[in-house]
């Protein structure tokens, strides 16, 4: 099994000036983490994958490439330009 490593994320308590700015900072999952998650999900072509906070969609893309016919819906909060 692949080892999972988390990258350090600073809390808003350490940076009070940022409270509310990034309630969920973008912290992308790396390949081995995605592989483990998809193995655990055991998705089939009949499934519908919802990914909240999908960021750049890398989990959905990997799932769709691994499981032809899989439907995916992703959502996130993006700043208004």
Dist. CA 45–CA 66, nearest whole Å: 10
Residue with tokens 């900072």: 25
Dist. CA 69–CA 10, nearest whole Å: 39
Question: Does 61 map to a domain?
Answer: yes
Domain boundaries, position 50: 26-75
The per-residue pLDDT for 27 is: 80
Q: Do residues 81 and 72 lie in contact, with contact meaning Cβ atoms separated by under 8 Å?
A: no
The per-residue pLDDT for 9 is: 52
The per-residue pLDDT for 76 is: 83
Question: Does 1 map to a domain?
Answer: no
The per-residue pLDDT for 31 is: 92
Question: Does 47 map to a domain?
Answer: yes
Query: What domain count does the chain have?
Result: 1
Q: Do residues 38 and 60 lie in contact, with contact meaning Cβ atoms separated by under 8 Å?
A: no
Report the alpha-carbon angle 22-78-51, nearest 5. Answer: 95
Question: Does 8 map to a domain?
Answer: no
Tens-digit pLDDT string for the chain (81 aa): 455 555 555 555 565 565 556 566 678 889 999 999 999 999 999 999 999 988 889 999 999 999 999 999 999 877 666
């Amino acid at each position: 099994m692949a080892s999972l490593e988390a990258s350090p994320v600073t809390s808003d308590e350490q940076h009070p000036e940022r409270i509310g700015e990034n309630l969920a900072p973008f912290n992308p999952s790396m390949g081995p983490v995605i592989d483990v998650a998809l193995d655990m999900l055991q998705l089939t072509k009949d499934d519908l994958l919802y990914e909240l906070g999908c960021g750049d969609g890398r989990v959905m893309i990997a799932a769709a490439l691994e499981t032809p016919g899989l439907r995916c819906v992703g959502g996130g909060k993006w700043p208004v330009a």
